[in-house]
A = this chain, B = another copy of it.
C-alpha cells in the first residue's frame, strides 16, 4: 500500500481553533448555539487545514448527505434523461448523488440497490423493474425509497411512472390510423413482460394485443423478442423482415430497440414504418426522425428526487405520480404503401 498522508480530522480543527470537537461539529452542521466569534475561528481553522469532514464517520451517527440512484443500463439513453433531471433537482441542496450501475442480469438490480443501502445513503431512487415488491417494502422500512417506472402502489415507497397504457394506445392508434394492419411488436425477453406484472413493457405489450384485437387484426399479431441493446434489436428485426408476410409497421417497446429496427429496415431496403417509446434525444435527428412517445424523462427524474427529499424530511404517506405521455409523430411512420387510404381496402380498390 502506498504511503499516504493522513487526513486532518475534526480533532485537528478543534485544536488549532482552540475549541472543543463538539463546537466544530456544530459549526459544520451550522446547528443552533454557536457564537459568531467562534464560527469565525473555526471556519478559519477549517480553511487553513483544508479540512473536509469524512462522510463515513458522519454517517455512523448522523446522515451521509448522499442520495443513491440505481440505473439498469447506461446504453439506454432514456435513463440518462432521468439522470439529468435527478442531477438538476439536487443543485443547491447539501446532497450529493451517487449512481450505482446494475448492468448484467436481473440479479444485478438487487446487488446495486443493496450496495447503495450498505453505503448508508439517506435515500434511494431505483429503476429496476424486476425486483419484487416485498423486497422493496422491506428495504423501504429502513431507507426512504422512490421507484421509477413501476405501476405497483406500495404503501412503503413512492412511485413515479409514465402512463404506459395511454402511451402505447397513442402509438397503436397512430399506426392503425395510418392504415397499418400488419403491425409487429418488438419487445424484450419474457421476464420483463410477464402479464400483469406491472412492468412498463408488459403493459405496452398488453395494449398492443388488446388494440390489435379491437381493430380486428388479431390474426396479424406478431410479437418479436430481443435482448437489450440495438444490435440485438437489429438482428431480431432483420429476422422478422425476412419472414413472410413482412409487417408494414413495427412498434418497438423503446427507442433503443426502434433504432435497431430502423437499421434492419434500412438494410433490407423495405418500406416499413417504425415507432418507438421514450423520445430519446437522437430520435429527433433528421436522419432518424423516429416517431415515438415522449414521457418527459427529465421531469420524472426531477420529481423522483423531490419526492425522496420530502420523504427524508419526514413524509410517510406514499405518493404515486403518473406522467401523461404525448405522441411525437415523425417521418419514420407513414401510411403503408399497399393501401392508399387508411383502413378501407374498398377505397383502395376503387382508387
Q: Which residue numbers of A lie inside 8 Å of B, CB to CB? A: 1-2, 4-5, 7, 52-57, 59-60, 64, 66, 74-75, 77, 80, 83-84, 87-88, 91, 96-101, 103-104, 112, 114-115, 117-120, 141-144, 230, 259, 262-263, 266-267, 281-282, 285-289, 311-312, 314-316
Contacts and interface: CB of A to CB of B under 8 A. Distances in A.
A76 to B, nearest CB: 10
Contacts of A96: 100, 112, 115
A266 B288 contact: no
A282 B258 CA distance: 12
19 contacts: A1-B312, A2-B315, A4-B141, A4-B143, A5-B141, A7-B142, A66-B119, A75-B80, A80-B80, A87-B103, A96-B112, A96-B115, A98-B119, A99-B99, A230-B281, A266-B286, A266-B287, A285-B288, A287-B289
A83 B84 CA distance: 16
Contacts of A266: 286-287
Nearest to A76: B80
Contacts of A282: 259, 282, 285
Given A84-B74, A98-B100, A286 B311 contact: no
Q: Which of A83, A115, A287, A316 has the most CB of B within 10 A?
A: A287
Nearest to A281: B230
6 closest A-B pairs by CB: A287-B287, A56-B59, A99-B99, A266-B286, A98-B98, A96-B115
A316 to B, nearest CB: 5
Given A96-B100, A144-B2, A286 B262 contact: yes
Given A55-B120, A56-B120, A83-B74, A285 B286 contact: no
Contacts of A316: 2
A351 to B, nearest CB: 31
Contact of A118 (B53, B230, B267): B53
A21 to B, nearest CB: 16
Given A52-B118, A56-B64, A259-B285, 16 more contacts: A2-B144, A2-B314, A4-B141, A56-B59, A57-B60, A74-B80, A87-B103, A98-B98, A98-B99, A259-B282, A262-B285, A262-B286, A266-B287, A285-B287, A287-B288, A287-B289
A300 B74 CA distance: 16
A77 B88 CA distance: 19
A142 B263 contact: no
B83 A120 contact: no
B104 A91 contact: yes
